[in-house]
Amino acid sequence: MDSYQMRKFEFRLEEIYNKTEWLQYELPLNEFIARFPVEFKNDVPQRPHWPEDFDLDRETRLAIMVAFRESFS
């Protein structure tokens, strides 16, 4: 696990959070980041799972996927 990549992903999630106004009303930043833990399988990061108890719009989901790929590729 590369801590630089993890920090980069968290930073990108923070950027998404700050750009998405409705997220700021729904939950605090640390809870938003905590909803997307990165799991590793054979030292390869797995795509984050979508929270079942929190609905995200299409744009936000795509931004999170782009952030993941840019951080871990």
Tens digit of pLDDT at every position of the chain (73 positions):
578 999 999 999 999 999 999 999 999 999 999 999 988 898 889 988 888 887 888 999 999 999 999 999 8
Lookup result for tokens 């590793």: 40
Q: Which two tokens stand for residue 18?
A: 């700050």
pLDDT recorded at residue 52: 81
Asked if 71 and 16 touch (Cβ cutoff 8 Å), the reply is no
Cα maximum dimension of the chain: 37
Q: Which phi and psi (to 5°) does residue 36 adopt?
A: -125, 65
The Cα 45–Cα 57 span in angstroms is 24
pLDDT recorded at residue 48: 86
Which residues partner with 39 through β-bridges?
46
Query: pTM to 2 decimals?
Result: 0.88
